[in-house]
Structure 1
Amino acid sequence: MTKSILFVGVGGQGIILASKILTEGLVKFGYDVKMSEVHGMAQRGGSVTTQVRFGEKVYSPLIGYGEADVLVAFEKVEAARWTNYLKEGGTMVINDYEIYSLPVLIGKEEYPQDVIEKISDKIEHVKVFKAAEIAESLGNIKVQNIVLLGALIKALGLENLDWASVIKDVLPEKMHEINIKAIEAGMNI
């Protein structure tokens, strides 16, 4: 059975790196994997998505409306923007984190309120946590993407695989320790 994962967020949050680690790990553990990424206006804080599909045999990386088994939102407004891609009964993992767009920063628009509550009213399986706070407690806010990856791995039931070895395969040695701590923290949420 093929599983479909949609990562959504804002440019600069490490979405593509998290997807790459997931993809490399799934391949290492024997799955057929397809990945597609859309950078959008990533350099300007725009929307970024990555689609990962894995299983015994996967023919396409693309996830259509209502097809994602899990949607991982690195920013809560992005969770709301992409909700229609989650399948009925799917799981949404949301980072309770705000990144303000330019119109919000210059006072032309307001950041939407009660985003998570509105999503939770429509979707049954929503897991919300503050990955940035967890990453800061580990010593580096930049690893919140790996904390989220750990939470996804737990949601998929893949936490018994050797993800530390995948981190060591993908990242430079100086980044191993903090990222292994981050992925473990995410799996322990």
Structure 2
Amino acid sequence: MANVKSVMIVGVGGQGSLLASKLLGNVLLSRGFDVKVSEVHGMSQRGGSVVTYVRYGDKVYSPIVSEGEADAIVSFERLEAARWLPYLKEGGRLIVNDQRIDPMPVITGAAQYPDGILEKLAATGANLLAIDALSLAEQAGSAKAVNVVLMGVLSTLLDIPEEAWQASLEACVPAKFLELNRRAFALGRNHTA
């Protein structure tokens, strides 16, 4: 099973992780990989923790990623990156949207949002790439395009030609949002930390 790779997409409900996993799954299938995708929702309403496992290779038997197995984790939010960090394998890549979204316990005052999350993540020795994906998404034309910006960043880690990603954007994104998402993807892909 050494040829199986695992990517986790983590965030909170309403951030577009479904489109991100659909885009990733589509591009991997187009390259001939066996792909398994599994979504796990915390609270189902907007704002709850959401994780999607995407595993691909010659033959994939299970979509579930165990602790220490993820080749890459793409986090739509800082605290979610910290929550799922134990799943990253040694030498794996942690892509984090440097954005704070308060979970319900913080909103209600039952808990405090931790300080210095990115510094703490970096201190673990994780191969961290923090990116202001929200600013790039807004530059592309919509704050909702954070998910596609992050897929653009992820695309630089995978040995898949850009044309395949563009074809997947066409397949997964409604035509009226395609140009916006092409811009968002390009901004993520061309981003250098």
Question: TM-score range, shorter-chain basis?
Answer: over 0.9
Q: 1:89 to 1:73 in 2, by over 3 A?
A: same
Corresponding pairs, count: 189
Whether contact under 8 Å (2:78, 2:98) holds in the other structure is yes
Structure 2 unmatched runs, 5+: none
Partner of 1:55: 57
Matches within 5 A, 1:152-163: 152-163=154-165
Q: For the residues of structure 2 that align with 1:147 and 1:6, how far apart are their CA atoms?
A: 16
**Aligned ranges 1:1-189 → 2 under 5 Å:** 1-189=3-191
- Going from structure 1 to structure 2, the CA distance change for 1:16 and 1:89 (only over 3 Å counts) comes to same
For structure 1, list consecutive stretches of 5 or more residues without a partner in the other structure: none
TM-score by length of structure 2 reads 0.93
Checking the alignment, whether the CA contact within 8 Å between 1:73 and 1:94 is kept in structure 2 is yes
Task: Give a deviation string over 1:17-74, Cα, whole Å, max 9, x none.
Answer: 1001110111012111111001221314110000001112211111001000001111
Q: Deviations over 1:71-121 (max 9, x none)?
A: 111110000001100011111000000101222223332211000100111
What is the TM-score when the length of structure 1 is the normalising length?
A: 0.95
C-alpha deviation, 1:161, in angstroms: 4.1
Question: Post-superposition shift, 1:179?
Answer: 0.8
Counterpart contact for 1:12–1:42, Cα < 8 Å: no
CA distance in 2, matches of 1:3, 1:134: 28
- How many Å separate the matches in 2 of 1:105 and 1:159? 42
